[in-house]
Amino acid sequence: MLNRPRKANFGHLAPESAFPASSRISTSAEYAAGCGLEEIAIPASMLLNLTLCFSVEPFSQTCRLHLGLENARQEAVVREGDTFRSFTRLDRMGNTSRGDASVIHTTHILVNQRDERVFSLLKRSYYDPIRQPVERESKPDQGKNSSYFDGVGQQFIDQFQSVEKFPDAPLESLAVDDVILHLAVRPIGWTENLALSTIYRNTHPIHWDAQRYGRDGIVVCGGFVQALVFAICDRELRQVLDEVLERSSHVNTIAPEDRIGAVSRVLSVEQIDRHLEAVRIKTLGLKNVDIEKELVGVEIPADLLDDQERKPSEIEAICQAQCPTLSGKIALQAIRTVIRPRS
């Protein structure tokens, strides 16, 4: 188990300029107050990236690829000036069938200065092969920090269930099987990529060391790609009060200056109470696709927008056979549930 302390003062963090928010809970102090919060909400994507990046230097510096995330959720209110520590637990590991690499499963917890769990997620990563013997006796960590991994923290949605009426704000009605073409397309540039890597303390050289990897070998951090994809979706999905990432995985890598877009399908809409609804959504993050010119009127294969997580090779086969426009252009697949006021 690894402990990584950091201090993050959100008054001085500028990364959200790269991930524009449309939901007013993250942009309007008045709206946030009407939702029962003391100040505007810190976007979940920021907390997710803090949780991921704080673990890079002590743990994943040698990681080859970030494969995917599961069950990523905020568990406590975050305030400007909060101080965080990151804890990582290795859950299981094993070599691939070819023996040329290993997949390591980890749990990551972000804890604030009040010893509250703030954010948690599960991660799958690709590493060099594990030396023999691969099967080793487990040695559970029973130290003082192990308690952070016991159970789960509070559900952030609890903050909103006592709100009698949410403030007025733009809110589009969403229905099952709606397919949404998010028309915004935006890159993460070279300067932004370097700045984000510095601010979030992402020390993995593949994200910034062009001397070692060459400009063509630099890969934008998967957490940053996901944050921008979800930010692009935000305008059509707003007002998002809270979200839980069920799972996400990366299909094709993103380089600085690649243009990122998105398409989503509504999988389900569930009424939580008379004020709140939970909308389950499948999103594809796209690279270098002009959504408005290239996808309007195009039938996107249903298999790409169902609730299954597919291997990159399977996704590419579907694209080549049924939708060549998307061949080699899908960067991310993600399923999440967003909590919104009812329309």
pLDDT tens for each residue of the chain, 343 residues long: 555 555 555 544 555 678 888 999 999 999 999 999 999 988 899 999 999 888 776 666 778 888 899 999 999 888 888 889 889 888 888 888 888 888 999 999 999 999 999 999 999 998 888 887 666 655 666 667 777 787 666 677 777 888 989 999 999 999 999 999 999 999 999 999 999 998 888 888 888 989 999 999 999 999 999 999 999 999 999 999 999 999 999 999 999 999 999 999 999 999 998 899 999 999 999 999 999 999 999 999 999 999 999 999 999 999 999 999 999 999 999 999 999 999 7
Q: What is the CATH number of the domain that holds 271?
A: 3.10.129.10
pTM of the predicted protein model: 0.91
Residue 192 included in any domain: yes
Residue 142 included in any domain: no
Tokens found for residue 82: 């909060």
Instruction: Report how far apart the first and last C-alpha atoms of the chain are (Å, whole number).
Output: 44
Q: Rounded to an integer, what distance in angstroms lies between the CA atom of residue 314 and that of residue 318?
A: 6
pLDDT of residue 12: 42
| Domain shared by 210 and 89, yes or no | no
196 contacts 18 by C-beta, under 8 angstroms: yes
- What does the DSSP 8-state code read for residue 133? P
Residue 301 included in any domain: yes
Residue 171 included in any domain: no
pLDDT of residue 261: 98
Tokens found for residue 259: 């243009």
Q: What range does the domain containing 304 cover?
A: 179-341
| Domain shared by 27 and 124, yes or no | yes
125 contacts 106 by C-beta, under 8 angstroms: yes
Number of domains in the chain: 2
Residue 140 included in any domain: no
pLDDT of residue 135: 63
Longest C-alpha distance within the chain, in Å? 60
Q: Rounded to an integer, what distance in angstroms lies between the CA atom of residue 84 and that of residue 259?
A: 32
